Amino acid sequence: MVPAVTLEALLAEVIALRAELAATKTQLTAVNAENVALRAEVAKLRAQINQSSSNSSRPPSSDPPWHVKRKPPKRPSGRKPGGQPGHKPHRRERLEPTEEFDVHAPECFHCGGSLGNETVIGEAPHVHQVVDIEIRPVVKDFHLLVHQCPACRGRTQASIPLGVPKGCIGPRLQATVALLAGRYRLSRTAVHQIVQDLFGVRVSVGTVQNTCERVSDAIATPVAQVLDAVRSTPERRQLCHAHLRRDIQALIDRGGAAEVVGKALLTQNDAMFSLWHAFGRGELGRPALIDAMIPVQQRTRALLENGLTHTDHKVKVLSKDLVRLWPSLWVFVANDDVDPINNVAERTLRPAVLLRKCNGGTRSAAGANFTEGMLTASATASRQEIGLFAWLCQATEAAESYTSPPGLLVAAVGSG
């Protein structure tokens, strides 16, 4: 017989089972929460592992060998690489010779007969030009003569003439030192060694630094004029669509719902670049570009508006940022001097990045001022088609003669 079970025993067993069930539910809730946290951490780590120059701000040099960068669509031109038939030739310019030599043929190429001065005909000769350089220092001694006054018998020594440097480094050597240190990113020690090796001039590292500071003072006014011109220019902020593609690609690489939104945004970005390339080829005029871009803008805006309430945090953040900066996405559409990518700005900033990587930055306010001035002068001279070395020579000569230096926002000067 089955033993009789009392009501009290059954109630006690039910109470125990309910307590065990409650403990199990609590444990399951904790396990589920831990699982959610671990999934999020795995997704975060996977996103970090999958980062590349295509979906983050990492440089292309950090990409693994198997990474294939996806470029915006561009219609194949069907042309082979290299110079195209009928393109403008780029020939080396023939320079004015400093020396000329007449070369005679000793014998006839056809029969071997002897040839001399009397056999030269009036036909224009072929000119083979060889360009070389002769580097030697130009050393100028200024003898400051001592005079004795016939009236008071006092002695007077002549002063350094106006325009002659107070130090031992002349304007062209000052410009060379500044060019090597500021434009070509060489350390002070390297400049000191190059000046000695190439020019045969012994200067200390301290003299190199002092020269950089003198040049920094000489170009301070033109650099300040550039800064004023930049500040007075109306701001037109254009977001870079190449960087935006990396953010969109990051959504695609997250997978799930974010991937769907990312692919839709990338489709619109592809359409934008296709229209832009057609405009660059001359297939679309500015009014046609503006009209053709309207549907792309509308579809992109709709995707971003939907993204504001998306369940994925990254989609929501990107959508919020782009909606807030919406006008800055399309400045290039109606303005002739604006591109949808910031390649020009990045090329301008790259010398500063390389200088910091090579030399580790600056160590003083004087070094920072020199670097700031030289980078500004270099970038502006390039945009203005000004020969930087010639301009530096003029600026240092002006500083020594206490005259106004040449500007950077004027017509180009010679390359010197």
Lowest mean pLDDT among 50-54, 322-326, 354-358, 367-371: 50-54
More confident: 224 or 48: 224
DSSP 248-263: HHHHHHH-HHHHHHHH
Q: Is residue 108 part of a domain?
A: no
Q: Are residues 264 and 323 in the same domain?
A: yes
Other residues' Cβ atoms within 10 Å of the Cβ of residue 15:
10
Same domain, 335 and 188: no
**CA atoms within a 13 Å half-sphere pointing along the CA-CB vector of 249:** 20
- Model confidence at 411, pLDDT cuts 50, 70, 90, reads very low
Whole-angstrom distance, CA of residue 31 vs CA of residue 37 = 10
**Can you tell me the mean pLDDT for 299-325?**
94
Look-up of token digits 């998306």: 310
Amino acid type, 195? V
* 3-state SS class at 397: helix
Do 286 and 361 fall within a single domain? no
Q: How far apart are the C-alpha atoms of 133 and 374, rounded to whole Å?
A: 26
Is 280 among the domain residues?
yes
* Residue 229 domain-assigned (yes or no): yes
Of 9-13, 141-145, 173-177, 262-266, give the lowest mean pLDDT range: 9-13
198 alpha carbon, distance to own chain's centre? 29
Do 245 and 191 belong together in one domain? no
Of residues 147 and 411, the one with the higher pLDDT is: 147
Helix axes 365-384, 205-218, angle to 10 degrees: 60
Round the average pLDDT of the chain to a whole number and report it.
88
Q: What is the mean pLDDT of residues 173-184?
A: 94
Closest CA to 290 of 334, 225, 255: 334
Same domain, yes or no: 370 and 394: yes
With respect to residue 60, please indicate whether it lies within any of the assigned structural domains: no
Q: Are 352 and 375 in contact (CB under 8 A)?
A: yes
> How many structural domains is the chain composed of?
2
If one counts every other C-beta atom within 10 angstroms of the C-beta of residue 12, the result is 11
β pairing state of 146-148 and 155-157? antiparallel
Same domain, residue pair 348 and 326: no
Could you tell me if residue 414 is inside a domain?
Answer: no
Do the Cβ atoms of 171 and 183 come closer than 8 Å? Answer: no
* Domain end among 324, 341, 358: 341
Q: Are residues 357 and 326 in the same domain?
A: no
Domain end residue (candidates: 302, 317, 341): 341
**Class of residue 80 by CB neighbours under 10 A (exposed 0-12, middle 13-18, buried 19+):** exposed
DSSP state string for 40-95: HHHHHHHHHHT--TTTSS--GGGS-TT--PPPPP-----PPSSPPTTPPP-PPPPP
Domain membership of residue 214 as a residue range? 171-235+344-400
Q: Say how far apart CA 303 and CA 394 lie, in whole Å.
A: 56
Whether residues 217 and 357 fall in one domain:
yes
Please, are residues 312 and 255 in contact by the beta-carbon 8 Å criterion? no
Helix, strand, coil in percent for the chain, rounding step 5: 55, 0, 40
114, pLDDT greater than 60: yes
Domain membership of residue 78 (yes or no) is no
127 is a domain residue: no
- Mean pLDDT over 313-320 rounds to 93
Q: In terms of Cα–Cα distance, which of 389, 387, 392 is closest to 413?
A: 387
Whether residue 415 is predicted with pLDDT greater than 60 in this model: the reply is no
Question: Which residue, 309, 341, 373, sits at the end of a domain?
Answer: 341
- Shared domain for 387 and 260, answered yes or no, is no
Q: Residues in the chain, how many?
A: 416
What whole-number distance in Å separates Cα of residue 172 and Cα of residue 211?
11
For residue range 16-40, list pLDDT tens digits in order.
899 999 999 999 999 999 998 998 8
CA distance 315 to 308: 8
pLDDT digits (tens, 9 = 90+) for 246-278: 899 889 888 889 999 999 999 999 999 999 999
- Does some domain include residue 197? yes
The reply to whether 181 and 324 lie within a common domain is no
In the numeric block, which tokens belong to residue 344?
């020009």
Q: Are residues 218 and 358 in the same domain?
A: yes
Same domain, 254 and 325: yes
